[in-house]
Structure 1
Amino acid sequence: MKLQVAIDRVSLEDAIILAEKFNGKTDIVEMGTSLVKDYGNLAIEKLSQTLTQSELLVDIKTMDEGEYEFRQGYRYGGDLLTVMGAASVDTIAACYQVSQEKNKEIMIDLLEVTNEKIEQLKQFDKAIFCLHHSIDRKDAWDATDSVSKFREDFPEIKHLAIAGGINLDQAKKLAAKNLVDIVIVGSSITQSADPVKSIENFMEAIKS
């Protein structure tokens, strides 16, 4: 199980400082969508150069022009890129093809995606599928229950990540049941008093 730490809604300068602190401490550092929109591809390059010991996921949330966006994202240094599961199957296929060609990883974000659509996406068997609870949603959810149900509904899907308000207790429960490949954590780490110590706590929880 890997830990992915999301850096979002900060200046590029602060993002680089955080990336330097997180480098080698976590498996994956995420360049959040806000940073992509605020600073673009050159910021991907800067973070990629900073992260010498951790992988870089760039949350570009592709919805269209899949081939172009994925080629650019990998070109500037992304190790993993995201495409929205709500995009057309053809767009996702284009992203998937580029990821395989470049020997890189692709994450399909299942935010608000129906089970019927997921059935169409199972063909992308090397992709990481991400169960994602929107930050804007007001309803509560149980991460462990959601993943367990997903595993029952889609046992064929091999690689799974989860995102959306994950705290240390939830991470421990997910790790205990070995339900996901990647747990994605944002503010529980980045907005804590000591982010590096928080990473250590999460890593201990999911690796033990």
Structure 2
Amino acid sequence: MAKPLIQMALDSLDYDQTVKLAGLVAPYVDILEIGTPCIKYNGIRLVKELKARFPNKKVLVDLKTMDAGLYEAKPFFQAGGDICTVLGVSGLATIKGVIEAANAYGKEAQIDLINVPDKAGLAREAAGAGAHIMGVHTGLDAQAAGQTPFADLQAISNLGLPIKISVAGGINASTVQQVAKAGASIVVVGAAIYGAASPSAAAKEIRGLVDAL
């Protein structure tokens, strides 16, 4: 089993705090994710800043695009983003637009399956259209209601599609190995790191657990 990449969700609205946190965790993670609230608040300047400071890390821009896929994603790929997300519920035309933008720059499009009723069906369609990453995502509101991403991860993994699978939704030190063993290519960790007393120590612990697989 290939070891999954570790993605850090940067969700703060504060620009300087986001850059500082990225610096603390960068030695232990593979992908720096600019979360949706963060990118809405700070914009393309933050993409350029993180890519300049951490050129060896992938930068994911969690746009959650809902329309105008090509038009919306293109400037973020131009600015140095390596992955942009598009909502699965946006429909195949919008998804194809983000895929087209990604391919034009040699980057990746991630399809977020949050709130998609037929996740398996959409995953098959999006993979057929050339999607690079499928995002199994249990949002914050769903997490608060007690939901986890494990069943959805297993269902998408069982499809055997030629894509990477990213998993987000309350992952922490006690569950990261379980997620990896269940078929995740990318494990997304947020609050378990940025909410810790020492984010760098928490990130190092997650790194160690993944490397031990």
> TM-score of the superposition, structure 1-length normalised?
0.92
Moved over 6 A (4+): none
1:35: which partner in 2?
38
Identify the match of residue 181 of structure 1 among 173, 176, 185: 185
How far apart, in 2, do the equivalents of 1:190 and 1:73 lie? 24
For 1:205, the equivalent position in structure 2 comes to: 209
Q: Which of 83, 86, 89 does residue 86 from structure 2 map onto?
A: 83
SS in structure 2 of the partner of residue 99 of structure 1 = helix
**Could you say which residue in structure 2 is the equivalent of 1:5?**
8
Q: How many residues align?
A: 206
- What is the DSSP-based 3-state SS (H/G/I as helix, E as strand, rest coil) of the residue aligned with 1:59? strand
Pick from 128, 150, 155 the counterpart of residue 144 of structure 1.
150
- Specify the alignment match of 2:72 in structure 1: 69
CA distance in 1, matches of 2:71, 2:152: 33
Contact 1:3 1:27 in 2 (8 A): yes
C-alpha distance after superposition, 1:1-39 (max 9, x if no partner): 100000102400111111222223210111111111111
For 1:178 and 1:118, how far apart are their aligned partners in 2? 17
Of the structure 1 ranges 160-169 and 120-129, higher mean CA displacement relative to structure 2 is found in 120-129
Counterpart in the other structure of 1:121? 126
The Cα of 1:142 is off from its aligned counterpart by: 4.2
TM-score, normalised relative to structure 2:
0.90
CA–CA distance in structure 1, aligned partners of residues 24 and 90 of structure 2: 34
Match of 1:196 among 178, 196, 200: 200
CA distance in 1, matches of 2:12, 2:68: 25
Confirm or deny: 8 A CA contact 2:13 2:42 kept in the other structure. Answer: no
5+ long unaligned stretches in structure 2: none
Residue 125 (structure 1) shift: 4.1
Q: For 1:158 and 1:106, how far apart are their aligned partners in 2?
A: 11
Deviations 1:56-95, CA, capped at 9 Å, x for gaps: 1111111111112111011112111111111121111111
- The answer to whether 1:155 aligns with 2:174 is no
Distance (Å, rounded) in 2 between the aligned partners of 1:24 and 1:183: 16
Conservation of the 8 A alpha-carbon contact between 1:81 and 1:106: yes
